[in-house]
Chains A and B, each alone.
Chain A
């Protein structure tokens, strides 16, 4: 039985037109999220993963804009929508939990009212009183005491605030939550709890989650499928077991080899050499080739083809191309 697609991104390009040149932050990305899935988008800072998130939300900050490509959110192409139409879809179909979101709560407004405000804005309810029972349900959903609805943000701990933020993201019952580094800067024990809450909410409601992060161990723990992004492009995707057990792309291998673990034998870590490229002037051919230990002649000349191993399972690397194609 084919799974229902919640998000389908096709050949998306989002560029920033800065004084210093065009920053190709997202440069031809294909990505899919199915119903009830937790998909991780992994990459280092500056690889364009946050820009991808902003593109989906229709909130690319100037001087950036979507140049081409399609973003289907349950069959609606968001790229073609007007600002007004986007505003309606944002939050009701796709919501976002971003880094440091708990600090974005209005300090002088009760947390419950902040959620009700979002509901009023989207015409789900017409009077504030109608929202209270919904908010209480939401609080239960994220494991918060429903009586906390009348608390102010400063009366809540960091973990509780993060739960409020998740409740707010769920307020309009969206199909997809984009979680952009939701636990960065939180302590590990708090992080573990928040991820548990997200997984729990997902189990209960069937919402899909696109987790954007640089934290590989976290990805290994919570995600179903993984996209690896490098310099504006997806270099590899697959299910989480394949990615971690038998990574194909040298970049994925490098990332995994660079991360220390508290389990298993103590190994010497090998950091990736060099730095990610300036996205205004990406290297020709494969963008990873200057840092790649397995680079061949062709890697610096031609962009690698996408080698498919199955549905949503591909790698973009010359190593996997047939001999004849490498010319």
Chain B
């Protein structure tokens, strides 16, 4: 049969080989490479901020108020005379932290609820799914605003709040995947072997839903980064953290657009756009790698 052309027997399934194979396919997708390079820039910015940034981003009056770009301050200064380039560089830390942690938390909550709901079924399923529906129909932004006001503005609360409104999508995805997985023969085989439900959920269902969940993870990161910026822009962010959203908030409040230094608004905006694009490109490329049907069509 033609389906058997890739006859087994020779390939050894080591992690290294798999990564190589993955990279071989991934590296042929141009936007994927662009996305990766972009992301790498942000990661370097976040990790090495203290060495890269020319000034301490919190230090006020390193320049004058709203100083336009110059060799000393490539992106100018803000209303307090802080260096904008340094602020943007440090902002990558907040964005990546919030994005990745919120997406991880989303994944954990969504996967746990999705697997439990799909595998256990019955009343558990009904209850969990109604809860999911509830969270799905709650208008997201007002809910976040209310919640962050109640919980108070801190980075950790923002992460929690974002995860709280993002998990239902993941839960639904995982549940439907679990429903089909639990009818697969190897799950029946495991039951006959004497495995408990918990054992099956952890050893058979979870590893098989993870690839799909991780594929959505990338988009969840983007979403969390944008949400954080949105919240901060509305003044609900953590005022002690340097983030692009907070920068936009103050820039807007202080009328930066009409000031001598419009880069106060443009710089964090472009930074946000760039990181969003990076993740979207990566997610597009991952989709092609993970989904062989898409790959064939090219």
Contacts and interface: CB of A to CB of B under 8 A. Distances in A.
Given A20-B6, A62-B296, A45 B1 contact: yes
B4 interface: yes
A46 interface: yes
A293 interface: no
Given A62-B296, A278-B10, A16 B5 contact: yes
B2 A279 contact: no
Contacts, number: 36
A46 B24 contact: no
A54 B2 CA distance: 9
B7 interface: yes
B194 interface: no
Given A62-B296, A278-B10, A25 B24 contact: no
B9 A275 contact: yes
Interface of B (DSSP majority class): loop
B296 A46 contact: no
Interface string A21-64: 00101000000000000000000011001110010000001101
A25 B2 contact: yes
Given A19-B24, A278-B10, A25 B5 contact: yes
A160 to B, nearest CB: 26
A210 to B, nearest CB: 16
B9 A46 contact: no
A279 B10 CA distance: 11
Contact of A278 (B1, B7, B24, B296): B7
A230 to B, nearest CB: 14
Nearest to A62: B296
A280 B10 CA distance: 10
Q: Is the interface of A mostly helix, strand, loop or mixed?
A: loop
B247 to A, nearest CB: 46
A74 interface: no
B5 A23 contact: yes
A103 interface: no
A23 B6 CA distance: 8
A77 interface: no
A281 B10 CA distance: 10
A108 B24 CA distance: 41
Interface in B1-56: 1-2, 4-7, 9-11, 24
Contacts of B9: 275, 278
A18 B2 contact: no
19 contacts: A16-B5, A18-B6, A19-B24, A25-B5, A45-B1, A45-B4, A46-B5, A50-B1, A51-B2, A54-B2, A61-B2, A64-B2, A64-B5, A275-B9, A277-B7, A278-B7, A278-B10, A280-B7, A281-B10
Interface of B: 1-2, 4-7, 9-11, 24, 296
| A-B residue pairs, 7 tightest by C-beta | A46-B4, A23-B5, A278-B7, A50-B2, A45-B1, A50-B1, A16-B5
Given A51-B5, A54-B2, A278-B9, 16 more contacts: A16-B5, A20-B6, A25-B2, A45-B1, A46-B1, A46-B5, A49-B1, A50-B1, A61-B2, A62-B296, A64-B5, A275-B9, A276-B7, A278-B7, A279-B5, A280-B7
